Amino acid sequence: MDMNERVNDLIYVCKRMCEILTIENTALEDKNAYAMKATLEEKDKLSRFYERHTRAIAKDREGYKSVNEDLRDELKELSQELDELVQKNSALLKMQMQISQRIITKFAEVAKKITPHSGAYSDDANIGPRGETATPLSLNETL
């Protein structure tokens, strides 16, 4: 593939990824999972395409130097914009994951509190769900 074509393809991919990340970042801020789901497949394909093309350009530095300077400048600007959007996306995803983890932890704590216990000893030697009431205890001395 000609290096100019490769750079043009990469410019298209960067533009489209910027659009997708803008949509996804807005969806993360609005907590709109449906909007995020709609972009996943295309985002995945474009990411793989972007990775292949950037690797090919990195291997052929001399070929890249022969590309029109305007195209290189456009690609550089788009790459910087894409990088900013990726960083914002990463921060938003991390925040959403932390929130989800807190919610799951709270649900687990509530579930533990309301789950009936088998009557184990509490730390103050009482028996019962929370050791709140003393239960009559008999010992079988034949054992």
Is 133 inside a domain boundary? no
28 neighbors 92 (Cβ within 8 angstroms): yes
DSSP result, 59-105: H-HHHHHTS-HHHHHHHHHHHHHHHHHHHHHHHHHHHHHHHHHHHHH
Between 45-59, 90-104, 120-134, the lowest mean confidence (pLDDT) is in 120-134
User: pTM for this one?
Assistant: 0.70
In terms of residue numbers, what domain contains 19? 3-92
76 in a domain, yes or no?
yes
Q: Are the beta carbons of 5 and 13 closer than 8 angstroms?
A: no
Note whether residue 100 is domain-resident: no
Q: How many domains is the chain built from?
A: 1
Asked whether residue 99 is domain-assigned, the answer is no
Answer yes or no: is 74 within a domain: yes
Least confident of 21-35, 60-74, 79-93, 122-136: 122-136
Task: For residue 2, name the pLDDT band (cuts at 50, 70, 90).
Answer: confident
